[in-house]
Amino acid sequence: MARRWRLRNKLLLGLSLVVGSVALLLSGTVQGLTSYVSTMNTADSKLAELLLLDDLKPAVSAVIAPTDVQPRLPSVLADQLPRADEPRLTRERLGRAREVFEEYKKRFQDTLARKRDPDPYIDSHLIQDIDKSFDKIAEAIDSFSRSADVGFNTGTLSSNLDLKREHDRLLRLIDELRIEIANDMYRRITESRRHYRQSLWTVSGATALALLLLFTLLYLFSSWVFTPLKQLQAGVNRVAEGNFSQPIDLKSGDELEELATAFNDMTHRLHDIYLDLERQVNERSRQLVRSERMVSVGFLAAGVAHEINNPLASIAFCSEALQGRLNDYIRRNPQESEVIAKYLSMIQQEAFRCKEITSKLLEFSRVGERRREPTNLAELIQSVLEIAQHLQNCRGKRIIFQPYTHVTAGVNAQDIKSVVLNLVVNSLDSMDDGGVLTITLVQRGPVAEMVFADTGCGMPPDVLDNIFEPFFTKNRTGKGTGLGLFISHQIVDQHGGQIEARSPGSNQGSTFTVRVPIQPVQAAATDANPDILPFGTVVKKKAVAAPQTEDGLGHAAA
């Protein structure tokens, strides 16, 4: 698998290509400018040398004046002039020519110091030869003067063959030097043209390469940086709008892809947190609605229970008293005995049935004190199951109890028994013959967990949402008041625990999970003051008129 390119490597590659193209352009430009400046400097120095050589040649030519240009003098003077003034005049003219040559040598040394001569070798040798030629001319003049002084030489200096030959050689050397300077300039210009062509090709190629590189880098950076950044921005905007379902699909193979992957992971976790919060909000909302209903129902239950309990007691007592007083009448009219006994029995049964309902309502309102003591939950559940196995709806069904640990929790045993019995009875009612109820007991940290899983009719989602509501029932037997699970939820909640119901759907069984803390929570206000309901409502107790005699019946019933 090829090594994935990091974003910094891509940026370094683009930067290197840009720097390379700029360096190539600069090198071509600098080369052309350098060649141009060097050529101009060389031409400037060599032109100055040529101007000095132009002054030098006439000065050297005038050292020996031609014979045809000498003035006509008397014969006596003509014979005496070469011997007297001609050598002096020649030396003076030679000195002026040498001064011009010395000025040229200074200019040449300046050219060498500034490195403006492309080939100083030949120039240096020619300058040395010219120096020697000047020396030889001076020696020839001196030799002519000495010969003239002793009278050996009667001719003119300009007709001296050695001087004339050396003079001609000097003029020739000066012409060669001028030609060499011209050649230096030509070579410098030729080299400058070559550098110019090289610079032109370099700059042209670098310009074309820079343009190609510019468009290539624009395309590459569009796919490497700009497009991924747009995708990241679009993904962030989607998340900001609350859309968590569309992740960022980025395959750039660099840090931006890692950033997109990390952002997708963060979005997934954020979505999970969002769903969990939504679930908790919905659950808390349902609990709040349920609590509000519980407040209303609890207050109503307490009031109704206190108000109805006394009349029900009076009705039951009156029916018993009436049954005793009708014994004589029954003996006199035996044909009416069966009907009277039947109706009196019905009055008593229904009265006690109503009293039982009010007792449950009073129990729900938690008016009485509830003490919590360490209780072995395994033994508690087992005692409930011993009672439940004798129930009629338990026939043909199995109950499996699996206490994985022996858990002792600080609870009110009677309340928890009521919860366990209610859940067991509901599970048995929901199952057909052959159904299985599995009860497990485990300890999870500071919490005791009881799970009741049956294979019964199950519950759809709408039933699960309202299963703990007061007076809500979906019992298959058609019986029940809808207060069992509601009271069980209230009991578990007062213990500081939780009760949950789950079901995959209809005909797929149900699972109820009860969790209560091992250590008892702080007692509610009702435990300290039985006159205060668990919802904060003070109940003004009425004196219960417990009729003891027949004389009190009328007063109690009034």
pLDDT tens digits for 136-163? 888 888 887 777 665 555 567 677 787 8
Asked if the model's pLDDT at residue 14 lies above 60, the reply is yes
How large is the angle between the packed helices 75-84 and 120-150, nearest 10 degrees?
A: 120
Specify which residues 498 forms β-bridges with. Answer: 515
Please state, in angstroms and rounded to a whole number, the distance separating the CA atoms of residues 60 and 134.
9
H helices present in 467-528, as ranges: 484-494, 525-528
- Predicted confidence at residue 325, as pLDDT, reads 65
Asked if the model's pLDDT at residue 61 lies above 80, the reply is yes
For 547, phi then psi, to 5°, come to -65, 130
Decide if 435 contacts 510 (C-beta within 8 A).
Answer: no
Decide if 188 contacts 42 (C-beta within 8 A).
Answer: yes
Chain-centre distance for alpha carbon 133? 89
- How many C-alpha atoms does 530 have within 13 Å on its Cβ side? 9
For 121, phi then psi, to 5°, come to -65, -55
Asked if the model's pLDDT at residue 540 lies above 50, the reply is no
pTM of whole model > 0.75? no
**For residue range 92-136, what is the model confidence (pLDDT) as tens digits?**
888 898 899 899 889 889 888 888 887 888 888 989 999 898 888
The mean pLDDT of 372-378, rounded to a whole number, is 89
CATH code, 371-522: 3.30.565.10
Contacts of 353 (CB under 8 A, 6+ apart): none
**For residue range 175-228, what is the model confidence (pLDDT) as tens digits?**
998 898 888 888 888 887 887 788 788 778 878 887 887 888 787 777 777 777
Residue with tokens 């609350």: 242
H helices present in 326-412, as ranges: 327-332, 337-365, 377-388
Task: Name the average pLDDT for the chain.
Answer: 76
Please state, in angstroms and rounded to a whole number, the distance separating the CA atoms of residues 558 and 552.
10
Which amino acid makes up residue 254? D
Nearest CA among 90, 69, 178 for reference residue 137: 90
Asked if the model's pLDDT at residue 531 lies above 70, the reply is no
The mean pLDDT of 34-59, rounded to a whole number, is 84
Specify which residues 516 forms β-bridges with. Answer: 448
Which amino acid makes up residue 228? P
Nearest CA among 525, 501, 527, 526 for reference residue 513: 501
Chain-centre distance for alpha carbon 317? 79
- How many C-alpha atoms does 328 have within 13 Å on its Cβ side? 1
**For residue range 264-299, what is the model confidence (pLDDT) as tens digits?**
888 878 878 888 888 888 877 776 766 666 666 665
- Predicted confidence at residue 516, as pLDDT, reads 93
Please state, in angstroms and rounded to a whole number, the distance separating the CA atoms of residues 140 and 86.
13
Nearest CA among 527, 501, 538, 499 for reference residue 515: 499
Decide if 28 contacts 203 (C-beta within 8 A).
Answer: yes
- Predicted confidence at residue 356, as pLDDT, reads 66
Please state, in angstroms and rounded to a whole number, the distance separating the CA atoms of residues 113 and 122.
17
DSSP state of 393: G
Please state, in angstroms and rounded to a whole number, the distance separating the CA atoms of residues 355 and 319.
14
Helix or strand holding residue 436 (H, E): strand 436-444
In order of 202, 235, 241, 490, the CA distances from 19 in angstroms are 15, 35, 43, 78
Structure tokens at 498: 């939780």
Residue with tokens 């299985």: 436
The mean pLDDT of 251-255, rounded to a whole number, is 70
The mean pLDDT of 476-492, rounded to a whole number, is 72
Query: How many CB atoms lie under 10 A from the CB of residue 367?
Result: 20
Asked if the model's pLDDT at residue 440 lies above 70, the reply is yes
Q: What percent of the chain has pLDDT over 70?
A: 73
Specify which residues 437 forms β-bridges with. Answer: 399, 454
